[in-house]
């Protein structure tokens, strides 16, 4: 075989791995002679490390592309590193990452400027290094903490033990224990039951006689069900003398990221070649189950394994608030530059006046003042430049140095508060019956505030709105419907259409209790017990097909009971249904035989063995599965097929028996749809022996093809899945999760548009929408569905450009008619046309006028396209996607916020999400309560950080008016730097984590409060300018009051005037701390004081609990700020940083009579502190003051909202979840 005969295949949907097991070249000709000249291949020699290494080193380098990350030459080692840092590279990599932030670069520039004596105000000492180092230290601790977790995971994985049989030309009779990191390409390894696979290996043999093994791929694709892989029967040779029979050569494709595809050949020691497919490969990370051992050849190791090639960095998501914060930082930098330019101009202007020229003290010693000397000292252009840069240093804090680290700390605290919320805790029982605890988890705290601004929610249905726990409820067999009662969705349909609700008889006492079967029909139970009944044979054949046509694996749980593990809950429910009615799938035996236990009418059980000839698997493109087998006794070849109705109808025989079978089945199908049941059509056909023989040859050729293998296989499958006789319809219920209706109603009241994206039929999706309150009877339903037949379609069954344009225009006109709410239903064909003809913005205009949108029959790829379409059509909105399965990952990653639900389909959605919850109902509190709180908190934190710096820096500018803008600072530089990092650092962090303006009960009862985030009510450029203006006003007060009080300075006990820093500068600093803390206190909306705890008893623990909760009050924040300020001042004195400062602290601050000699200073200090403390303690004494005011504010807003609704709708009906008159009593209780 030429080594250029392989071609890569593009990956398909994330479904169960497809592709049959590889087959020997014997039995077909030309199957391996596909020419793909010039393609590079990998050559692996089993057990021959040196020879393999030479081959790997010759592999070409490939740039990153569709195949995955850059590769080549080949890697021999299996050592894996996922951590970002090492001991050697931490410092350079961390510094590069840190200084990629503009703010850190700005403060680095400040440090550099401070070292130039000509412009420095710190005598050439870079004092900003201290706070900058502190900021970087905190960031470094955060990075180290996160990376240590990666290091621990890497060490644990690399040091895991496996067994090597052949390596480096040495064959081990007894497998040798080896670390994963020591495994090399070409090694023959052995893996035992319940052990993970250390690298990508080609199966050589297994403990199963047929070469089968079971694996669980949860680490790979998130699915927890078991899958069957197989070692080709022709892989091993009879002669085991040469390396135990393992000395073969593998020729395969180069490393790539296509999880579901593999193409290659294995040359045995005797020279015979065997083709290899995806069923012959075990990938790193999957776990071996229900198999004693497997042996295989390592073909891809380390970073070249498929799971590592798919380990891409998650998409970078930045919240809109942080984007605006970055813009505001740039604005403040421009303001800083303007202030510095003004200072330089004012300085040059003043010094150019005659008065300045005649002021000898400005130019030197007046005794030697001459005209020439003065002229030489006159300011020049270079002096103005120096003054400009001097003021850059003076106004350093216009940009908060601690902004980024403060926000990081706040968001970390918010994340912990989310995870500690026990009301979002859930428990779930897995397939094995084990209970798993599921708390809410935060994976990306950077988006906390984005949760308060969501406008669109894109939700999967199965497992997200529903439980994904399937129950067999009804069926139609040979044109007759069986199964009584209705579902919650069906009950909603009956009530909505004023139809009679049927009475369900009790379940017969002798009916067995079977998991996932909720079937009640006494008449049908009698049929299954009476072999002479005319409908008995058809019913038995129907359930026999369910017991045979599946990929279910039986296994024993901890209780010893046999449970079924399947690729989907639907599949397992159908096999359980077959068991319930007497057809018990037991096991798979050697030779591909299925053993089915049959329970007779008398209760006796007999086993029947069916020879499986072929299994044609289900995937999202085929939407059906088939099994071809030979009947025991008769020897006839029969094909059983089940699948979606729109696929199966095309494959039914033109003539059905009886003649009205299809008509009756269609009626039953529609009834099941009204009940919201998931349906599959079941059919069968007998196959002529000669036709099967010729078809089998074509299928074998397709399976062994090395080019377009999957396409060829599916084309051959089409040849045999035809002329089916309709057997019946299965109907399975997927129950709605608790609280879904309440959550969706609240979202509509919060002006959040909910999109339900489902693969169900249109009518099924509509019925589910009504049952879960996504739709209600007062809504006008707008439809854009290709299956309605209203639009002209092309040869691909997609509406034409003119048809979809006309339809959207009609929908837009209908959406604007009337005052009632609208809902839109779109199916996959209409969506395909909208995207193909670029009508996204037109559709978005219709969606804006609708409260809910349902997209039916959509594929996983279309889900992500829909999210992207909305983001493109309306860039200003925030989108959220929520799902529970691997097929929801693209949608989750495309949206601004991705939420994963822990479900029965694995953890892939959770692993790729930003937030993870246990049930959809928790999303209500996550958005309406925590989302709104965090949005308000983060906005206030950003605004306050700029405000308090404006309040602190503007006095520097005002002081310049007294010193000709000469660059003389008013504050001691050390205290100046500590303002942000110490004195005012703690209060805003506590505020950002704990503060709330409304209680959770009020937020949930009034979803319209969520409008604040959608309308950017807490943060905008206008609001920012208001805060800046307020900061300038407060700064003016902090400066002018001390100046007017101390126009002539402050005097010590000997009557000497203290210096500038000790006098006006120090107490301006003090006032700025007081005012900034008081301003934050004014923003505080949540006060939780200790006295309710003390009232319950004198227990010290209760008092401590009260004091901890008291951190939510502004009073405690004042104490913290003041304590930090005075402690720092005392530290400066003790270390002798400034002798005058020490004199001030002990002689003035410690001598009350001296301090009291000037009542102005005394009154300024006392007034500020008394004002703040009095306000705080007045609230302590009147604990209900806040609650009363809050209720009054909310009540007023509620009345205004009710009035608006009544004006718009002409009545007082309950709209969008708003509180109305009849709810006032309940609201009063809240």
Looking at the annotation, which residues are catalytic? 460
Residue 381 backbone class (left: φ over 0; alpha: ψ -120 to 50; beta: rest): alpha
For residues 469 and 515, the answer to whether their CB atoms sit within 8 Å is no
Q: Which helix or strand (DSSP H or E) is residue 897 part of? A: strand 897-901
Buried b / exposed e over 967-978, threshold 16 CB at 10 Å, is bebbbbbbbbbb
Which of 329, 255, 344, 293 shows the shortest CA–CA distance to 59?
A: 255
Does an H or E element contain 780, and which? strand 780-784
What's the residue count for the chain? 1230
What distance in Å separates the CA atoms of residue 917 and residue 372, rounded to the nearest whole number?
Answer: 80
d(CA 452, CA 933): 7
> Beta-strand (E) ranges in 146-276?
161-167, 170-179, 188-192, 200-206, 212-216, 226-230, 249-253, 264-267, 273-276
Q: Mind giving me the DSSP string for 475-493?
A: EEETTEEE--S--HHHHHH
* Rounded Cα gap, residues 111 and 263, in angstroms: 59
Beta carbons within 8 Å of 196's beta carbon, 6+ residues apart: 160, 219, 284, 285, 286, 287, 288
Look up residue 1020 and give its two tokens: 């905008």
* CB of 902 closer than 8 Å to CB of 435: no
Report helix angle 828-836 to 840-848, nearest 10. Answer: 130
d(CA 1044, CA 1037): 11
Where would I find the beta strands (DSSP E) of 243-305? Answer: 249-253, 264-267, 273-276, 281-282, 287-289, 293-300
Q: Contact, 229 vs 314, CB < 8 A?
A: no
Question: 3-state class of 86 per DSSP?
Answer: coil
At 607, list the tokens: 């086993």
Kindly give the residue spans of alpha helices, DSSP state H, lying in 1135-1184. Answer: 1139-1143, 1152-1155, 1159-1181
CB atoms closer than 10 angstroms to residue 367: 6
User: Does residue 73 have a cis bond before it (omega within 30 degrees)?
Assistant: yes
The two tokens of residue 414 are 């918010």
Question: At 633, phi and psi to the nearest 5?
Answer: 90, -65
Strand partners, 897: 880
Q: Which helix (H) or strand (E) holds 435?
A: strand 435-438
**DSSP, res 930:** I
């Amino acid at each position: 075989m030429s080594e250029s005969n392989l071609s890569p295949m593009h990956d398909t949907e994330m479904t169960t791995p497809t592709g049959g097991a590889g087959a020997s070249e014997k039995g077909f000709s030309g199957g391996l002679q596909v020419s793909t000249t010039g393609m590079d291949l990998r050559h692996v020699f089993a057990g021959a490390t040196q020879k393999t290494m030479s081959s790997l080193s010759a592999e070409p380098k490939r740039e990153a592309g569709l195949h995955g990350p850059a590769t080549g030459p080949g890697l021999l080692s299996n050592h894996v590193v996922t951590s970002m840092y090492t001991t050697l590279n931490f410092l350079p990599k961390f510094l590069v990452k840190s200084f990629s932030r503009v703010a850190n670069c700005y403060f680095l520039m400040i440090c550099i400027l401070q070292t130039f004596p000509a412009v420095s105000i710190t005598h050439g000492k870079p004092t900003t290094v201290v706070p900058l180092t502190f900021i970087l230290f905190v960031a470094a601790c955060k990075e180290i903490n996160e990376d240590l977790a990666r290091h621990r995971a890497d060490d644990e994985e690399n040091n895991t033990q496996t067994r090597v049989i052949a390596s480096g030309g040495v064959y081990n009779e007894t497998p040798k224990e080896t670390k994963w990191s020591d495994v090399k390409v070409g090694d023959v390894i052995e893996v035992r039951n319940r052990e993970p696979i250390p690298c990508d290996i080609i199966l050589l043999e297994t403990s199963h006689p047929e070469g089968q093994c079971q694996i669980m791929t949860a680490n790979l694709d998130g699915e927890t069900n078991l899958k069957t892989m197989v070692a080709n029967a022709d892989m091993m040779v009879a002669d085991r003398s040469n390396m135990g029979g393992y000395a073969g050569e593998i020729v395969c494709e180069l490393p790539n990221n296509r999880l579901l595809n593999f193409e290659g050949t294995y040359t045995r020691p005797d020279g015979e070649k065997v083709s290899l497919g995806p069923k012959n490969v075990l990938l790193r990370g999957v776990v071996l189950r229900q198999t004693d051992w497997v042996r295989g050849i390592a073909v891809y190791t380390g970073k070249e394994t498929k799971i590592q090639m798919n380990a891409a960095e998650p998409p970078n998501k930045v919240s809109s608030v942080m984007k605006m914060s970055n813009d505001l930082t740039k604005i403040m930098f421009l303001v800083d530059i303007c202030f510095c330019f003004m200072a330089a101009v004012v300085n040059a202007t003043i010094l150019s006046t005659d008065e300045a020229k005649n002021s000898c003290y400005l130019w030197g010693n007046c005794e030697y003042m001459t005209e020439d000397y003065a002229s030489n000292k006159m300011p020049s252009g270079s002096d103005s430049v120096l003054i400009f840069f001097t003021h850059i240093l003076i106004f350093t804090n216009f940009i908060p140095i601690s902004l980024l680290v403060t926000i990081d700390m706040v968001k970390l605290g918010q994340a912990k508060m989310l995870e500690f919320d026990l009301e979002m805790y859930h428990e779930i029982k897995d397939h094995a019956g084990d209970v798993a605890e599921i708390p809410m988890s935060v994976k990306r705290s950077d988006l906390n505030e984005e949760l308060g601004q969501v406008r669109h929610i894109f939700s999967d249905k199965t497992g997200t709105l529903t439980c994904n726990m399937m129950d067999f409820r009804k069926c139609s067999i040979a044109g007759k419907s069986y199964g009584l009662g209705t579902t919650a969705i069906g009950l909603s349909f009956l009530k909505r259409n004023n139809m009679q609700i049927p009475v369900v008889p009790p379940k017969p006492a002798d009916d067995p209790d079977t998991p996932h079967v909720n079937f009640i029909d006494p008449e049908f139970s009698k049929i299954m017990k009476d072999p002479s009944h005319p409908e008995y044979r058809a019913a038995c054949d129907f359930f026999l097909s369910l017991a045979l046509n599946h990929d279910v694996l039986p296994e024993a749980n901890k209780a010893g009971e046999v449970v079924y593990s399947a690729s989907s809950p639907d599949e397992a429910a159908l096999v359980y249904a077959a068991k319930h009615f007497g057809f018990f799938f037991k096991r798979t035996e050697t030779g591909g035989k299925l053993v089915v236990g049959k329970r007779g009418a008398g209760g006796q059980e007999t086993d029947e063995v069916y020879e499986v000839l072929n299994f044609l698997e289900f995937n999202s493109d085929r939407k059906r599965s088939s099994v071809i087998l030979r009947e025991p006794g008769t020897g006839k070849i029969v094909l059983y097929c089940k699948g979606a109705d729109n696929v199966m109808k095309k494959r039914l025989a033109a003539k059905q028996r009886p003649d009205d079978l299809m008509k009756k089945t269609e009626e039953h199908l529609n009834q099941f749809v009204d009940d919201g049941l998931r349906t599959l059509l079941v059919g069968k056909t007998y196959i002529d022996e000669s036709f099967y023989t010729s078809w089998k040859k074509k299928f074998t050729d397709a399976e062994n093809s090395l080019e377009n293998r999957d396409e060829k296989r599916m084309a051959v499958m089409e040849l045999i899945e035809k002329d089916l006789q309709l057997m019946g319809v299965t109907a399975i219920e997927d129950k709605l999760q608790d609280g879904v209706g309440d959550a969706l109603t609240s979202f509509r009241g919060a002006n959040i548009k909910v999109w339900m994206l489902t693969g169900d039929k249109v009518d099924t999706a509509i019925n589910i929408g009504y049952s879960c309150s996504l739709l209600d009877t007062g809504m006008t339903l707008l439809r854009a569905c290709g299956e309605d037949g209203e639009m002209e379609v092309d040869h691909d069954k997609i509406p034409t450009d003119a048809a979809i344009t006309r339809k959207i225009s009609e929908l837009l006109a209908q959406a604007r008619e009337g005052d009632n709410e609208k809902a839109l239903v779109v199916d996959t064909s209409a969506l395909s046309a909208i995207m193909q003809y670029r009508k996204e913005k037109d559709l978005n205009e219709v969606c804006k006028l609708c409260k809910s949108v349902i997209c039916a029959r959509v594929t996983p790829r279309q889900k992500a396209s829909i999210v992207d379409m909305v983001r493109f059509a309306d860039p200003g909105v925030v989108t959220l996607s929520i799902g529970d399965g691997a097929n929801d990952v693209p949608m989750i990653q495309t949206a601004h916020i991705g939420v994963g639900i822990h479900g029965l389909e694995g953890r892939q959605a959770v692993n790729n999400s930003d937030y993870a919850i246990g049930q959809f109902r928790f999303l209500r509190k996550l958005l309406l309560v925590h989302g709104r709180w965090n949005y308000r908190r983060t906005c206030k934190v950003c605004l306050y950080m700029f405000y308090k710096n404006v309040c602190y820096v503007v006095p520097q500018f005002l002081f310049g008016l007294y010193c000709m803008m000469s660059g003389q600072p008013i504050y001691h530089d050390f205290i100046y730097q500590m303002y942000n990092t110490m004195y005012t650092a703690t209060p805003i962090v506590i505020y950002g984590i704990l503060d709330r303006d409304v209680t959770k009960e009020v937020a949930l009862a009034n979803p319209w409060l969520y409008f604040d985030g959608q309308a950017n009510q807490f943060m905008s450029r206008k609001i920012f300018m208001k805060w800046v203006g307020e900061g300038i006003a407060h700064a003016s007060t902090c400066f002018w009051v001390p100046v007017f009080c101390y126009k002539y300075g402050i005097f010590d006990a000997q009557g000497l005037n203290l210096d500038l820093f000790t006098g006006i500068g120090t107490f301006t600093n003090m006032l700025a701390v007081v005012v900034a803390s008081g301003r934050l206190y004014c923003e505080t909306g949540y006060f939780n004081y200790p006295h309710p705890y003390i009232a319950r008893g004198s227990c010290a623990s209760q008092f401590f609990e009260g004091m901890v909760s008291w951190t939510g009050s502004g009073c405690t924040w004042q104490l913290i700020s003041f304590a930090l300020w005075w402690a720092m001042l005392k530290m400066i004195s003790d270390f002798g940083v400034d002798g005058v400062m020490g004199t001030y602290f002990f002689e003035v601050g410690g001598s009350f009579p001296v301090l009291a000699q000037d009542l102005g200073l005394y009154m300024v200090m006392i007034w500020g502190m008394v004002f703040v403390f009095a306000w705080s303690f007045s609230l302590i004494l009147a604990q209900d003051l806040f609650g009363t005011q809050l209720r009054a504010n909310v009540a007023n807003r509620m009345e205004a909202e009710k009035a608006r609704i009544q004006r718009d709708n002409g009545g007082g009906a309950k709209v969008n979840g708003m509180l109305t008159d009849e709810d006032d009593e309940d609201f009063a209780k809240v």
